[in-house]
């Protein structure tokens, strides 16, 4: 197998596993469908925005939960935003972690919220590294002169 085919196979296997393991859902497929020659970096751009946004949200959440008197409405607002952005890019596990988080906000349960924040951070860092790996594979394929396989 030549280099390109090898890389392409790696890419397909890796992508498939991300969907199978629930890191990504169909919304990510939708993003890829929107990418075209007029905007060949669309997915990377959106995901980069997501990374930036998420890091801010995580910081805001940590800070909000550290207040003497926790403003759960504010915490919930941040989580709502995070849930929205993760849903928009197809980061399913992060989204699910946010859903669980909101339940604890509703219950004004500080310990629950702290645990959920850890969970969200964990899921976020996982999906971030997986997406970065995926993008790297894409770049390798392109650099080797190949095209990126489209998952059916």
Q: Sort residue 145 into left (φ over 0), alpha (ψ -120 to 50) or beta.
A: left
Nearer to other proteins, 9 or 33 (CB): 33
Place of tokens 């989204």: 95
Torsion of the alpha carbons at 2, 12, 53 and 114, rounded to the nearest 10: -120
Residue 2 or 41: which CB sits closer to other proteins? 41
Under rule CB under 8 A, residue 33 binds other proteins? yes
| Binder of other proteins out of 88, 109, 119, 133 (CB under 8 A) | 88
15 three-class SS: helix
Rank residues 79 and 134 by Cβ distance to other proteins and give the closer one: 79
- Among residues 11, 18, 24, 50, the one that binds other proteins under rule CB under 8 A: 50
- Contact between residue 147 and residue 91 where contact means Cβ atoms under 8 Å apart: no
Binding residue for other proteins, selected from 87, 109, 119, 140, defined by CB under 8 A: 87
Whole-number Å distance between alpha carbons of 81 and 106: 15
Closest to other proteins by CB, 11 or 28: 28
Smallest distance from other proteins to CB 132, Å: 17
Q: What CA–CA distances, in Å, run from 79 to 66, 75, 140?
A: 15, 6, 35
Contacts from 37-40 at CB under 8 Å and sequence distance 24+? none
- Per-position x/- string for 66-85, each x denoting binding to other proteins as judged by CB under 8 A, each - no binding: -----------x--xx-xxx
Q: How far is the CB of 28 from other proteins (least distance, A)?
A: 10
Residue ranges that bind other proteins, judged by CB under 8 A: 27, 30-31, 33-34, 36, 39, 42, 45-46, 49-50, 53, 77, 80-81, 83-85, 87-90
């Amino acid at each position: 197998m030549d280099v390109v085919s090898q890389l392409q196979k790696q890419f397909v296997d890796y992508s498939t596993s991300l969907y199978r393991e629930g890191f990504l859902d169909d919304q990510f497929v939708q993003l890829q469908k929107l990418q075209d020659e007029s905007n060949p970096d669309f997915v990377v751009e959106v995901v980069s925005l997501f990374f930036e946004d998420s890091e801010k949200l995580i910081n805001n959440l940590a800070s909000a939960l550290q207040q003497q008197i926790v403003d759960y409405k504010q915490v919930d607002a941040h989580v709502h935003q995070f849930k929205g952005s993760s849903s928009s890019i197809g980061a399913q596990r992060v989204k699910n972690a946010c859903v669980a988080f909101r339940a604890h906000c509703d219950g004004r349960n500080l310990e629950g919220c702290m645990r959920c924040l850890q969970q969200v951070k964990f899921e976020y860092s996982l999906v971030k590294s997986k997406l970065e790996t995926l993008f790297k594979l894409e770049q390798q394929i392109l650099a080797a002169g190949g095209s990126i396989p489209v998952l059916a």
